[in-house]
Structure 1
Amino acid sequence: LTQIQNLLIDSLLGTKHVENAAIIKLQDQSVWVASPGFNVSAQDAYMLISAIASRSVQVRREGLYFTEKDYKCVRADEYSLYAKRDDEGVVVAKTDRYLVVGTYNQFMYPSVCVEAVEKLGKMILFSEKRKKIDYGGTVD
């Protein structure tokens, strides 16, 4: 396992309230790393990126189709997307270059999944901004 895959497994799946997790690159809409057995298709990656980028009323009204399931959008803003279906759901946190994605099932607490995904997203975002400073870039 790679260092980033270990981080994904430890910080998300390690909570026991994230069923599956992935990090998607925004630039090329590809999956950078995913938990074992979690297959995020190119279409799924595109749908998540489009949904969080638009934060549109359409996503809130029509919902989200992800991993061959329909979800109802319960939150969509500049940095987060939460969607649920019955007792399961998907949580997405956006950084400058990535989407951190976590799913939960009926035996897990959605709030713990949200907290874990958002925390990893903030950690990655902080790391991205720190690299900009370290290499002489600017921070927005």
Structure 2
Amino acid sequence: MSWQAYVDSSLVGSGHIDKAAIISAAGDSTWASSAGFTVSPEEMKSIVNILGATGDAVDKAHAEGVHVAGERFVVTKIEDRSIYARQGRTGIAVVKTKQAILVGHYGEGTQAGNAVQTVEALADYLIKVGY
């Protein structure tokens, strides 16, 4: 399956994610994304730093939020491989695998838990198959 197919079918196709991107775990390239959902190079590096817990990146994320596709989201939780953040009634779930970082955005009508479960499930699958 192509990376774009994972975005279109597994994430957006679930009905729980309205926009998504898959970027490299190094934060240096976008492998696939929804139309108009662009994670900038600076945003990628910030996500990598937060997930790698380098320096004060986690504290800074909690204080200043995380930026994805030009929007600021308030961090609700950061775990070893995941970042969860909200902006009003929308939000993002960011999950790292061995080689990729999945970024899923959910809209107002979606339960955050369903969106998170969708992104986490794809991450678990990718890890299981070596990515």
TM over 0.5: yes
Go from structure 1 to structure 2 and tell me whether the alpha carbon gap of 1:69 and 1:7 turns closer, same or farther (over 3 Å shift). Answer: closer
Q: Deviations over 1:33-66 (max 9, x none)?
A: 1122322221221121122221622212221122
Question: Paired residue for 1:6?
Answer: 5
Question: Paired residue for 1:99?
Answer: 101
Q: Which of structures 1 and 2 has the bigger CA Rg?
A: 1
CA distance in 1, matches of 2:13, 2:125: 16
Question: Paired residue for 1:50?
Answer: 49
Q: For 1:1-140, list aligned pairs within 5 A.
A: 3-27=2-26, 29-54=28-53, 56-128=58-130
Contact 2:91 2:112 in 1 (8 A): yes
CA distance in 2, matches of 1:94, 1:117: 10
Contact 2:23 2:32 in 1 (8 A): yes
Contact 2:102 2:119 in 1 (8 A): yes
- For structure 1, the 5+ residue unaligned runs are 130-140
Moved more, 105-114 or 94-103: 105-114
Contact 1:47 1:66 in 2 (8 A): no
Go from structure 1 to structure 2 and tell me whether the alpha carbon gap of 1:88 and 1:28 turns closer, same or farther (over 3 Å shift). Answer: closer
Q: Across the two proteins, how many residue pairs are aligned to each other?
A: 128
Moved more, 57-66 or 18-27: 57-66
Identity of matched residues, %:
25
CA distance in 2, matches of 1:28, 1:90: 17
| Regions of 4+ moved over 3 Å | none
CA distance in 2, matches of 1:61, 1:27: 24
Partner SS, residue 70 of structure 1: strand
Q: CA deviation at 1:99?
A: 0.4
- For structure 2, the 5+ residue unaligned runs are none
